[in-house]
A and B are shown apart, each in its own frame.
Chain A
Amino acid sequence: MKVRHTISLSGPEVWLPPDGYPLGEASWIGPGQMSMRFEIARAIGSGSAGLFKPDGPDSVDHPAFPQLANALYFTSERQMLSTSTRQALDQAISLQDWNTLFLASPEFMRR
């Protein structure tokens, strides 16, 4: 539900057409939608949004945020990023912050 709500804020949903989500870029890149994407990046990256909560009434939230700055990143992913993205990531002050920037990078905006 939470995920669905966050998706609806970043994409077109007030009047979702019967043929599903639009494919055109213009429907997704409004300035307010970009800001919302970065909020979502932060929510996922810092684990603060309850997005990793398993279903069920008594389930316990997974406490950790994802470890994205891992070996895979340093061995291969880093080479695929633009210089400005790498420079921004190098200025991260915590792992959560790093995750947020990584997920908010231009490389993460397109399929």
Chain B
Amino acid sequence: MKRRDFLKGLGAATPLMIAGRLYAAPLTQTRLLVVFLRGAYDAANVIVPVSSEFYYQSQPTLAIARPNSADPNAALTLDRDWALHPSLKESIYPLYRRGQAAFVPFAGNDDVSRSHFETQDTMELGQSINKSRDYQSGFMSWLVAQLTAVDPIAFTDQLPLIFRGGSPIPNMGINSVAKPGVDDRQAKLIQSMYVGTELAPQVAEGFAVRDEVYKAVTAEMQQANRNAISPKGFELAARRIGGLMNSRFNIGFVDVGGWDTHVNEGGATGYLAGRVSELGRGLAGFAEAVGPAWKDTIVVVISEFGRTFRENGDRGTDHGHGSVYWLMGGGIKGNRLLGEQVKVAQSTLFQNRDYPVLNEYRAMLGGIFRRIYGLQPDRLQKVFPDVQPRDLGVV
């Protein structure tokens, strides 16, 4: 055997080393966390178009008041036109002011079905909707396939569509981590039954990740017990994710539900305010828990669509189109709004009811992936076919 043949063989074998993925510290410094707000969050009442008179006419009971330092329920100034929901004052607003958070208004995708399920699928597939699509293949699994030295994970009970279609990617619901009932001896015996079957990689990966996550979470619980307050819900999950992405994984996905606010949505306080506050505390907690790696971390917050710009008769909002996405990270050029914008007025609404989509999410993410991973155009085409990446100048 010649060295050349050996190396060639090695190169060919590497992508197949699925279950043999080494659990060493990742070589790439970059960490990417995608947060999917399932249910379509009401972007217009979280990143508020305060310069628009039309906004205040359209939302008589839900609107967030214009910035006013004397009013704790007023929005927090982002720039001349936009302001932030007051429930994010302690969490996201300081990050924004430090340049570690930015927002992309009028963001979204071309799917106009206004169906949660269809549009979530569209986003996770990342394929053009007017062509035939592979419904078992999500764009993050394609992203993983283009990269070396990546340790992906979905922090979800089920493997989401976004991560399906490529080599098996571990998934682990992060809020419900319990001591495994299947012990090590049983795990070994179970694995031995799967040797040579096509499920072998999933089984091996499942046990490996289970043990690793359990170890990390128990260590965290011991630490947390010394502090009086322990976080719950997404804040707990996000802190755990931060710890795991500091030490072990570098491409993560998590979803957060509870955004489908048709009825009694609330304004500066109320239901949506509570969800947004928890999300903000979670993401700020993630930034803290990921530690020194925060400077190399990018967090992208997406949602399937926005909501109707006018509130409905039940003091809520219905299924809309354009949304506002969030970008965060210790090393980004934040403290600003990004992408194409139009004046928020009745004349600029999509179908006279929703925000238009001016910043297509695949072009936006493609631009980010190109920057942080140095992906060449042909590789980007494999992640998002037929999409021209757009650089927002954020990383």
A residues bordering B, Cβ < 8 Å? 8-9, 11-15, 17-18, 24, 26-27, 29-36, 38-39, 41-43, 48, 82, 84-85, 87-88, 91-92, 97, 100-101, 104-106, 109
**B352 in contact (CB, < 8 A):** no
Residues from chain B with a CB closer than 8 A to the CB of A36 are 157
Contact in complex: A29, B202 (CB < 8 Å): yes
Indicate whether A32 sits within 8 Å of B182 (C-beta atoms), given known contacts A14-B257, A26-B164. no
| Interchain CB contact under 8 A, A31 and B182 | no
Q: Which chain B residue lies CB-closest to A15?
A: B38
Q: How far is the CA of A73 from the CA of B281 in the complex (A)?
A: 54
List 5 extra interface pairs beyond A15-B116, A42-B182, A101-B186, CB under 8 A.
A15-B120, A31-B209, A32-B206, A36-B157, A88-B189
In the complex the two chains form, is B193's CB within 8 Å of A105's CB?
yes
Instruction: Kindly state the separation between the CA atoms of A104 and B191 in the bound complex, as whole angstroms.
Output: 10
The reply to whether B196 and A84 contact each other, CB–CB distance below 8 Å, is yes
Return 15 A-B CB contacts under 8 Å, by A number: A18-B117, A30-B171, A31-B206, A32-B154, A32-B157, A35-B207, A39-B180, A84-B192, A87-B192, A100-B186, A101-B186, A101-B193, A104-B186, A104-B193, A106-B199
Docked CA distance A38–B197 (Å): 16
A residues near B206, Cβ cutoff 8 Å: 30-35, 38
Which residues of B are found within 8 Å of A92, using beta-carbon distances? 189
Residues of B whose CB lies within 8 Å of any CB of A are 38, 116-117, 120, 136, 154, 156-159, 164-165, 168-173, 176, 180-182, 186-187, 189-190, 192-197, 199, 201-203, 205-207, 209-210, 255, 257
Q: Does A30 contact B158, Cβ atoms closer than 8 Å?
A: yes
Q: Are A106 and B186 in contact (CB under 8 A)?
A: no
A9-B176, A14-B257 known; A24-B182 Cβ under 8 A: no
The 7 A-B pairs of least Cβ separation, nearest first, read A30-B159, A31-B206, A32-B171, A35-B206, A31-B205, A34-B206, A31-B170
Question: With the chains together, A15 CA to B304 CA distance in Å?
Answer: 13
Q: A32-B172, A33-B159 are in contact. Are A97 and B186 (CB under 8 A)?
A: yes
On chain B, the residues within 8 Å of A85 by CB distance are 193
Q: Is there contact, CB below 8 Å, between B38 and A31?
A: no
Contact check: which of B193, B196, B202, B255 meets A88 at CB < 8 Å? B193
Complex interface: chain B residues within 8 A of A48 (CB): 181
Complex CA distance for A60 and B195, rounded to whole angstroms: 41
CB neighbours of B257 from chain A (8 A): 14-15
Residues of A within 8 A of B255 (CB): 14
Q: What is the CA–CA distance of A52 and B120 in the complex, to the nearest angstrom?
A: 38
In the complex, the answer to whether B158 meets A33 with C-beta atoms within 8 Å is yes
Do B181 and A43 touch across chains, with their CB atoms under 8 A apart?
Answer: yes
Residues of A within 8 A of B165 (CB): 26
A residues less than 8 Å from B116 (CB atoms): 15
- Set of chain A residues within 8 Å of B194, measured between Cβ atoms: 84, 106
Do B136 and A12 have beta carbons less than 8 Å apart? Answer: no
State which of A17, A38, A88, A106 has its C-beta within 8 Å of the C-beta of B117: A17
Known: A14-B157, A31-B203. A84 touches B173 (CB 8 A): no
